[in-house]
Amino acid sequence: MIQDEHKLEHFDSYNGINFINDSKSTNVNSTWYALESIPKPIIWIAGGIDKGNAYEPLIELVKSKVKCLICIGRDNSNLLKLFSNNVDYIVEVDSMDKAVFEAVKIASKGDNVLLSPACASFDVFDNFEQRGNEFKKSVYKRPSGFDIIFDLHYTESKSNTSIIQVCNNINIELFQKIHENPSLLKEFRSHRFEELFAEMLRQFNYEVQLTKKTRDGGKDIIAISHEFLNLKYIVECKTSKNKIGIVPVHRLHNVKTREQATKAIFATTSTFTKDALSYFKEYKYELEPLDFDAIMEWINKLVINNNTIPNNVYTQWPK
């Protein structure tokens, strides 16, 4: 069967990530069909000339299937306004290369990166054919950063259990590289960041487990302290260029309550919105925010002081 170019065109796979070119979908109905047809998890690239498009019919599909929305175009205000509370990650970019790079950073094995703009292309591209071809070219040429220089060679567990052990190839040398060049921390893909944070906790003498990849709104990591009591912490790890809002924080709080954990930690390579920080403050004994600066302090102390946890953070993790 010959595929229709630019219409649900499965044209490449890379490290288990599938790429689908649906540039021909220049309206909401066509994109609805694409989102309905493609299995989740989906990283959705959208945007372009918005002539008052009504995106509401897409909300339920986006909630259930999309893990990240990447907006490409000159005016994404309508997309951002409607979907900001319906998807965990939203990223804005100004080129197709950047869109593909952001998609690959967020994607995990088995994810589908779907270009289905739901808009006309004339703001950045001459037509939908050029837009689709640029998408394919960006994927084929592997933009800088596709393979980070300190690739951790992540492999999925073949076990049927619910736990994946922390990868042994994350070591103090990797933390040293990040200590010397903090911008590297922002280049991690989602699962790489989870592994890095888990290993950092292990260095601080926590018993650490990584949970399998599920879109359950939290519990990427389970950390147990045995120093005095068996205290259980759950950790949500998010890589993002945008501020983390209150929705995923509230979801993590629910997971913490359900799991009867001592505390829930939200670690991100970004920062948090004012609403999210207010929520953390309200539940300061149950929730802890760790943004880019706080994580870098952990890493710096780990490298400089040889496994000494930062004092100001240590007091926030009761043992």
**118: burial class by Cβ within 10 Å (0-12, 13-18, 19+)?**
buried
Which of 109, 140, 171 is the last residue in one of the domains? 140
Same domain, 134 and 208: no
Question: What is the β-pairing status of strands 207-211 and 221-225?
Answer: antiparallel
pLDDT at 183 over 50: yes
User: Does this model's pTM top 0.85?
Assistant: no
Question: Which tens digit of pLDDT belongs to each residue from 198-224?
Answer: 888 888 888 888 776 544 445 678 878
Same domain, 208 and 275: yes
- Flag whether 193 is in a domain: yes
Question: Which tens digit of pLDDT belongs to each residue from 43-64?
Answer: 999 988 877 788 999 999 999 9
Higher pLDDT, 307 or 34: 34
Q: Calculate mean pLDDT across residues 219-241.
A: 79
Q: Are 69 and 79 in contact, with CB atoms under 8 Å apart? A: yes
Contact residues for 51 (Cβ-Cβ < 8 A; gap 6+): 120
How many domains would you assign to the chain?
A: 2
Q: For 81-85, 98-102, 120-124, 271-275, which range has the lowest pLDDT when averaged over its residues?
A: 120-124
- Flag whether 158 is in a domain: no
- Flag whether 4 is in a domain: no
Residue with tokens 């120093």: 227
Same domain, 230 and 114: no
Which of 140, 172, 200 is the last residue in one of the domains? 140
- Flag whether 117 is in a domain: yes
Compute the Cα dihedral for 66, 90, 272, 190 and give only its sign.
positive
Return the number of other C-beta atoms located less than 10 Å from residue 218's C-beta. 25
Compute the Cα dihedral for 212, 213, 215, 218 and give only its sign.
positive
Look at residues 44, 314, 57 and name the one whose alpha carbon lies nearest to residue 205: 314
Higher pLDDT, 168 or 258: 258
Range of the domain at 261: 163-314
- Flag whether 152 is in a domain: no
Which of 89, 109, 140 is the last residue in one of the domains? 140
* Token pair of 108 as six digits: 């995990």
pLDDT at 144 over 70: no
- Flag whether 151 is in a domain: no
pLDDT at 205: 80
Same domain, 296 and 264: yes
- Flag whether 275 is in a domain: yes
Question: Which tens digit of pLDDT belongs to each residue from 284-303?
Answer: 999 999 999 999 999 988 88
Same domain, 49 and 181: no
Average pLDDT, the chain: 80
For 49, the 3-state DSSP assignment is: strand
pLDDT at 70 over 90: yes
Same domain, 302 and 169: yes
pLDDT at 309: 42
Same domain, 116 and 46: yes
pLDDT at 209: 82
Q: Are 238 and 270 in contact, with CB atoms under 8 Å apart? A: yes
- Flag whether 63 is in a domain: yes
Same domain, 121 and 178: no
Same domain, 206 and 303: yes
Residue with tokens 């909300």: 59
Whichever domain contains 17, its CATH number is 3.90.190.20
pLDDT at 145 over 90: no
Element (H, E) at 196: helix 190-203
Same domain, 171 and 308: yes
Classify residue 225 as left (phi > 0), alpha (psi -120 to 50) or beta: beta
Distance of CA 80 to the CA centre of its chain: 17
Same domain, 129 and 168: no
Same domain, 106 and 15: yes
Q: For 27-31, 140-144, 157-161, which range has the lowest pLDDT when averaged over its residues?
A: 157-161
Q: Are 201 and 314 in contact, with CB atoms under 8 Å apart? A: no
Q: How far apart are CA 198 and CA 234, in angstroms?
A: 11
pLDDT band at residue 142 using 50, 70 and 90 as cut-offs: low
Higher pLDDT, 163 or 173: 173
pLDDT at 213: 52
